Amino acid sequence: MPIAPPPLSQDLLEWYDRHARTLPWRVPPQARAAGIMPDPYRVWLSEIMLQQTTVATVKSYFARFVNRWPGVTDLAEAPEAEVLGAWAGLGYYARARNLHACARTVATEHGGAFPTTAATLRALPGIGEYTSAAIAAIAFDEPAAVVDGNVERVVSRLFAIETPLPAGKKEIRIRTGELTPDLRPGDFAQAMMDLGATICTPTRPGCILCPIRPHCRAAAEGRPEVFPVKKPKAEVPSRRGAAFVAIRPGDGAVWLRKRATTGMLGGMSEPPSSNWNARSDGELGTTAAPFPAGWQACGTVLHGFTHFKLALDVYRADIEHDPPGAGWWSPPEAWDGEALPTLMRKVLAAAAPATR
């Protein structure tokens, strides 16, 4: 009587028991086995931060957030401007606005406790298909299909899925659901992601070290790197604009204003800047200045976004009186706490290098 080989999930979980990454928001498998479950607030916060963002980048932000706002109610009570200020530099700022809105919803409509199922989590702002499944699995051990970029890669290789992403995602989700065990689904989800992050990597995957290689069709065919097949991406256009840094001579404070709530860098702070237009027209010059002053050119900041490249001409001027329009003076020692995106920090560095 032949003995059935272990299922994929068992092989993976045994590997995870020995090789799980140690992460600030994670309860290790041995502790989970002893009945310790993670704080849903920390799971949620980490998942939002990790959307399209590397673990290395997230760690310091996560530490600052949980130190400053230990629970979801603390975060809900914070002014949005403070949350945006703490998020500055992480990118995708809609995440921060949704994070705050979600905290307030949990505090006011759920009594300060996160919903416990993927379906109910899915209704909260900033929580989509992936994040709802991840929180449900990791914080509440619901056997939900958790499909992030790592899992897309692992599963597309396991089954040698030829359908290019994003169309192939449907089949990947179905396959992931079939692989997900009823026992330890939270560890299984984290194990899949750890495997994708450390062994089943985009280039040069370490198939020799892979605990589920015997289950993998792409490895058997000797072509793991061709998966996942992806649709070619469009080329990114260029845009150009101008930023105007008004400086108060006395203390070196700069004049900032708040950007529109929606759109690029929504809700974040900036020195007044023009619209960013298609780059055919060359330098805008001071015609786009928000008010007349002795504007002096001080270089061009280049910044790459996901869907376009930006060249931002920077001008500076010493201003004694308050400029027209809404805004505030921000001295250099206050810049750390301002909701300044990285682009705008580059602008300030170009305009006021002496104060940095």
Partner DNA sequence: CATACGTGGGG
Partner DNA sequence: TCCCCAAGTAT
Give me the active site residues, please: 47
d(CA 47, CA 198): 18
Q: Residue 231 interacts with DNA (CB under 7 A)? A: yes
- Terminal-to-terminal C-alpha distance of the chain: 74
Binding mask 254-273 for DNA (x = CB under 7 A): ---------xxxx-------
Radius of gyration of the chain (CA): 24
Q: Residue 238 interacts with DNA (CB under 7 A)? A: no
d(CA 188, CA 194): 10
Which among 103-111, 128-136, 283-291, 315-323 is the span making contact with DNA, rule CB under 7 A?
128-136
Q: Residue 158 interacts with DNA (CB under 7 A)? A: no
Which among 78-86, 212-220, 298-306, 321-329 is the span making contact with DNA, rule CB under 7 A?
298-306
Identity of the residue, 92 or 328, whose beta carbon is nearer to DNA in the bound complex: 92
Binding mask 88-107 for DNA (x = CB under 7 A): -xxxxxx---x---------
Q: Name residues whose C-beta falls within 8 Å of residue 331's C-beta, 6 or more positions apart in sequence.
A: 251, 252, 253
158-to-144, 183, 229, 274 alpha-carbon distances in Å: 19, 21, 13, 49
DSSP 74-107: HHHHS-HHHHHHHHTTS--THHHHHHHHHHHHHH
Output the smallest distance, CB 127 to DNA, in A.
6
Count of residues engaged in binding DNA, rule: CB under 7 A: 60
DSSP 122-147: TTSTT--HHHHHHHHHHHH-------
Q: Residue 203 interacts with DNA (CB under 7 A)? A: yes
Q: Name residues whose C-beta falls within 8 Å of residue 223's C-beta, 6 or more positions apart in sequence.
A: none
Q: Residue 206 interacts with DNA (CB under 7 A)? A: no
Residues at the contact surface with DNA, assessed by CB under 7 A:
21, 23, 25-26, 46-47, 50-57, 89-94, 98, 125-132, 134, 148-150, 153, 166-167, 190, 193-194, 196-197, 201-203, 230-231, 233-234, 263-266, 303-307, 341-343
